[in-house]
Amino acid sequence: ETGVTQTPRHLVMGMTNKKSLKCEQHLGHNAMYWYKQSAKKPLELMFVYSLEERVENNSVPSRFSPECPNSSHLFLHLHTLQPEDSALYLCASSQGGGRSYEQYFGPGTRLTVT
């Protein structure tokens, strides 16, 4: 499998549930990202990992918890979400190293919080 994959593609969860989103990249990159796309807002960067270390936490609420166990995998752990957290969550990867490289995106997980 090539590129960036995300699972699940769709997720419906209640406000008291705990779930995790998974992202895997097969491009040999060493930086990974989580973005959020809400209905009425531009795409927003949530978290950045470079060489498996978090380098950016864009004022994201603590109910979102990222984990990057290695350079190919990225998780977003979700707990006690709110209905306004319903959105498309996109994962991306790129080369890292403090320079600007092209980012490649996965297909996204469409999350609905009920």
Partner 1 sequence: GIQVEQSPPDLILQEGANSTLRCNFSDSVNNLQWFHQNPWGQLINLFYIPSGTKQNGRLSATTVATERYSLLYISSSQTTDSGVYFCAVDNNAGNMLTFGGGTRLMVKP
**Positions that interact with partner 1 (CB under 8 A):** 31, 33, 35, 37, 42-45, 48, 50, 55-56, 88, 90, 94, 96, 98-105, 107-108, 110
CB neighbours of residue 105 within 10 Å: 16
How would you label 75-92 residue by residue, b for 16+ Cβ within 10 Å and e otherwise? bbebeebeeebbbebbbb
Considering the complex, state which of residue 75 and residue 105 has its C-beta at the smaller distance from partner 1.
Answer: 105
Considering the complex, state which of residue 37 and residue 86 has its C-beta at the smaller distance from partner 1.
Answer: 37
Q: Please report how close the Cβ of residue 107 comes to partner 1 at its closest, in angstroms.
A: 5
Q: Please report how close the Cβ of residue 80 comes to partner 1 at its closest, in angstroms.
A: 25
CB neighbours of residue 55 within 10 Å: 12
Considering the complex, state which of residue 45 and residue 79 has its C-beta at the smaller distance from partner 1.
Answer: 45
Token digits for 112?
A: 């609905």
